[in-house]
Amino acid sequence: MDENKETKLEIFLPSPEHLADLKERGIDIETELARIMCDNLKLIKAEKNPRKVGIAVTKEQMDGLQKYGINAPEYLAVELKKRIHDTLTNKRKD
At 60-78, the pLDDT tens digits run: 999 999 999 999 999 999 9
pLDDT of residue 51: 87
Q: pTM for the complete prediction? A: 0.73
CA 11 to chain centroid: 7
Q: Which residue has the higher pLDDT, 8 or 39?
A: 39
What is residue 60's predicted lDDT score, i.e. its pLDDT? 96
Range 32-44 average pLDDT = 95
Judged against a pLDDT cut of 80, whether residue 91 lies above it is answered with no
Check if the beta carbon of residue 50 is closer than 8 Å to that of residue 37: no
DSSP states along 31-92? HHHHHHHHHHHHHHHTT-PPP-------HHHHHHHHHTT--HHHHHHHHHHHHHHHHHTT--
pLDDT for 2:
60
| Domain segments of the chain as ranges | 10-50, 51-94
